[in-house]
Chain A
Amino acid sequence: MSTLHTVNKSPYEKNSVGSCLAHANSGSSILFYEDAVYATIKGASIEQLVTGTEGVKLYALGADLKARGITDDKLIDGIEIVDYAGFVDLAAEHERVQAWV
C-alpha cells in the first residue's frame, strides 16, 4: 500500500519531481536525493508544488544537501533529513520503492 518514491533530478532540469509529486498517494513518502534536493529550498517558484501534497511525507538526503550548500535554514518546513542508513530504513519500511529517474 505505501510507496517510497525516490527522485534524483533537479526540478528545473526535468519534470521528475513534478510528476512524482503529482502521482504520490496520501500515505506515501518521497525521498529527494542528488540534484532533486534542490526542490527542498524554500522561497523557490516550485515551493507550493512541493508542499501541496496532502499526507505525503517528505525526506531529503543530508549528504546531498551538504554537498550542494543547502543549509538547514534554507529548507522548506517539515522536510526531514535522513542519512544513508535512514535511506535504507525507509526502503525497508515501505512496501515498494518507485524511482523517478
Chain B
Amino acid sequence: MSEDIKRFMYINRRAPHGTIYAWESLEVVLIGAAFDQDVSLAFFDDGVYQLLKSQDTSGIETKNFSPTYSALGDYDVTKLYVEQESLEERGLTLDDLMDLKWEDEDDDWAEKDSIRLVSRAELKEVLEQQDIVFSF
C-alpha cells in the first residue's frame, strides 16, 4: 500500500436490467479493484434495485450479474453504502436486499456486512470525502 491511495466512489443510481449502466458499473469496479485503492460504492435512487434478492433473469434471456455483488468482498470492495430514503420511497427494506459479507483479515477473518445503511444526510457526507467519483 503506497501513501497515494485515493478514495474512489462509484455511484449507482440506475435500475439493473433495463439499461446497461448497473452491469457496466460492476465491471469497472472489478477492474478498478486491481489498483489497490480505497473503494466505496453508493446505491441510491433506482440504484438500490441492483441489490434486491432473488433476481432471476432466465425469463428475459440476459445475463444475471446480481450474484457478482457477493464476490466484491474478495476484491476488497467492502463498503457498499445504501440510502435508507431511496429504499423507503420504493417500498423496500434492508431485508429485501442480498446479504453481502466480507471477511476481515485484520480481525481473524471475521465475517462482516458489506452493506452500510445510511441516511441521505450521512450519504452526502460520505460523498464529500471522496477523491474520485464515477457515476453510473
Q: Decide if the interface of chain A is mainly helix, strand, loop or mixed.
A: loop
The proximity string for A residues 57-92 relative to B, scoring 1 for CB distances below 8 Å and 0 otherwise, is 000001110111111001000000000000000000
Q: Contact size class for B? A: 20 to 34
* Interface membership of B6, Cβ < 8 A: no
A-B pairs under 8 A by CB, number: 74
The proximity string for B residues 99-112 relative to A, scoring 1 for CB distances below 8 Å and 0 otherwise, is 00000000000000
Q: Decide if the interface of chain B is mainly helix, strand, loop or mixed.
A: loop
Docked-complex contact B56 and A66, CB < 8 angstroms: yes
Docked-complex contact A10 and B54, CB < 8 angstroms: no
Given contacts A12-B46, A43-B91, A74-B91, contact A69 B52 (CB under 8 A): yes
Docked-complex contact B49 and A68, CB < 8 angstroms: yes
Docked-complex contact A69 and B92, CB < 8 angstroms: no
Docked-complex contact B89 and A34, CB < 8 angstroms: no
Pick the interface stretch among B12-20, B24-32, B70-78, B115-123. B12-20
- Beyond A8-B18, A44-B89, 8 additional contacts (C-beta under 8 Å) are A13-B45, A35-B15, A35-B18, A38-B49, A41-B90, A44-B90, A66-B58, A69-B54
User: Which 9 residue pairs of A and B lie closest in terms of their CB atoms, listed nearest first?
Assistant: A63-B59, A43-B91, A44-B91, A35-B18, A69-B52, A69-B55, A67-B57, A69-B54, A41-B91
Q: Could you show 19 A-B contacts with beta carbons less than 8 Å apart?
A: A9-B18, A10-B46, A12-B46, A12-B89, A12-B90, A13-B14, A34-B18, A35-B15, A35-B19, A38-B15, A44-B89, A45-B88, A64-B59, A66-B56, A67-B55, A67-B56, A68-B55, A69-B53, A71-B54
